[in-house]
Structure 1
Amino acid sequence: MRTLTMGAVLAVTLVAGAAAYGGSAPLSPALSPALSPAPDGNRGAGLMQMGMGQMGMGQMGMGQMGMGPGGRGGGPIARHRAAMMQGIPEPYRSMTNPLPGTAETLKRGATVYAVNCAACHGAQGLGDGPAAASLTPPPGNLAWLADRPMGQWDPFIYWTVAEGGAQFGSAMPAFKDSLTSDEIWAVTTYIQAHFPKEPK
């Protein structure tokens, strides 16, 4: 591993973090491998291999790097940090959505979302559902998440829905025992499609 000066490490961390979360900072070709998926699908592994895990993402704090609305306290920030630093846990890490991105899948996902998610996350995923005001931390802004690279990773969304947020200090329930695998994949598709009002 190359030895980097502290200034270079800080610059690499900030640029890599901005790029990983949809920022506009350009990423040099030399740093691109840091954000490329590892063989196990863990994009955070590149940052760890470059030595970022010892002083970068964890200590600087994702909240300082623009984790987006609805990211106060535990919940979204803690889950993003865990995924970036340790990867998505098994058995979720290697999962891919088996459902086609068809109108039928989107309609099913919209129904699952309306029944199980909208009360907290809101109709368009903004974290502004009728139950949101009483929750601390507030529900995650799924519309914001869907625009970020991590929000498009099938394993990340499936893991979030299946396991809920208890391990990250949020009130989101685990749905692995109340929804079928296909229902979780359908709502994953719906979120990643940015909550179409009339799925086509």
Structure 2
Amino acid sequence: MIERALRGLLDLLERARQPERSRADEIADVRRRLAAQQRAARRASDDERQRARALETLRQQMIETLAEPASCASCERSCHTPSARVGTERETVFAAERRRAPAGFDGGACCAAKTAGVFSDDELYVLALAGATAADYSAPPGPHAGCAFRDARGCSLAVQRRPTLCLRYLCNELQSELQASGRRHAARSVAHDLRLGFEALVAERREREIDDLLQ
């Protein structure tokens, strides 16, 4: 009850500070669905929790490998059409219903995806196991330009609170920057392990839930 009241207060504050109601509404939706996954995470098995800890280790490895890349804060300048950036990428969610960036938005071209498409229930389950709370999900006041957490230079969230999808997505410009610094192979390797680890945790959860239903 207290958590729900706190979430409601956070939502009211978000609506008061955001110039576009749609942005506040999408942030509220993420918080609501995160709360549902927090409840679900209470029934997580030991194996699920172990996989979640392994994902946190990989997440930290990716943070260290990427080391705040410059391309993510300026990629929008060279992005003319969605297909020009993501046509050859496997993560096609970033191409769905892409919003045109407002003036002054230099970075975060891949952040133009729909919020719900990036913050799937499975991603929120992983974040819940990692200790994410409603208070972790807010955004600076500004235009709604794709994902509700997108800011003028990319994602406004702490890296530890972003979906694994956002961490393992390596666009062509980012890969070029990593290649120039000799980090491309390492980043691709960690991204691969993140994807496999995420899929394994989701599969583990599905199997447990089926077993629970059959008992």
TM-score by length of 1: 0.31
TM-score by length of 2: 0.29
Q: Give the number of the structure with larger relative contact order, counting CA–CA contacts within 8 Å between residues 6 or more apart.
A: 2
Higher helix share: 2
